[in-house]
Amino acid sequence: MLQLEHLRKDYDGFVAVNDLTLDVPRGEFFCFLGPNGAGKTTTIKIITGLLKPASGRALVCGKDIQKDPMEAKRVIGYIPDTPYLYEKLSGRDFMYFVGNLYGVSRADVKQEMDKYFSLFKLTGAADNLIENYSFGMRQKLCFSAAFMHQPRVLVVDEPMVGLDPLSAKILKDLLREFCRNGGSVFLSTHLLAIAEELCDRLGIITRGELRFLGTVDSLRTTMSRTGTLEDLFLELTADGVTDTAASPFAADSSTHSSA
């Protein structure tokens, strides 16, 4: 479903992602972890077509995101860490706008909107302007829009930021159901307990290079010790913590970012 082949991305000579190769098959919940400045957000921007790699390629359902962007993006649902939305649209108008971009009929948009707005308790705010939405409401609107066109791959960056416990539980259930139905999730988060709870496999990146790829249990075997994912992660990445103030891609290291 999602294949990354020898991805490399440089920023003025600084290697943000170096020879990254991994494969997320159909139905897998994959978590992508790393300290600030490790290259996670850069990788996500390449997957979603927002950045062009220096070399290598990202394939979504067999479509190269650079060579066939329209077809690749048609099957992606993207939930960024910080939602940038059209402030002067209402939540309802935003859903119709996104549905139109993906060629979803108005009847299907309404059906999906009613479903997700009800789940996320947005129905009462559907006709309010987005500029009056809280951060958590904006996140929930992004989730609703990302699911609406029935994507095959979900790329999710720090999904729990700004969510109350009930909304976080609803989202986790939706993501699990999405995978059970044959979709694939590529999730980046700093909340290691969430990753340990949800992931089938995980990848750990530091200084732009993949340090580990496998299950949590195989990570324990590799490191010859027991412990939580948090314990194992901190030990594995102790030498990979970046001075984010000096990073040439400082946007990757902001409070709500995942790289």
The owner of tokens 């979504």 is 60
Residue 14 phi, psi (nearest 5): -85, 125
For β-strands 153-157 and 2-11, DSSP reports them as unpaired
State the Cα–Cα distance between residues 55 and 194, nearest whole angstrom: 32
For the chain, percent of residues with pLDDT exceeding 90 = 72
* pLDDT tens digits, one per residue of 43-100: 999 999 999 999 999 999 999 999 999 999 999 999 988 878 999 999 999 999 999 9
- Indicate yes or no: pTM above 0.85: yes
Token output for 120: 């996320």
- 143-173 burial, b if ≥16 CB within 10 A, otherwise e? bbbbbbbebbbbbbbbbbbbbeeebbebbee
Task: Give 156's pLDDT tier (boundaries 50, 70, 90).
Answer: very high
Indicate whether 257 pLDDT > 80: no
Give the DSSP H or E segment for 79.
Answer: strand 76-79
Give me the pLDDT at residue 252, please: 42
- Report how many helices (DSSP H) and strands (DSSP E) the chain contains, helices first: 9, 10
Q: Where residue 240 falls among pLDDT bands split at 50, 70, 90?
A: low
Q: Count Cβ atoms within 10 A of the Cβ of residue 136 and give its class: 0-12 exposed, 13-18 middle, 19 or more buried.
A: middle
What's the mean pLDDT in 132-149?
A: 93
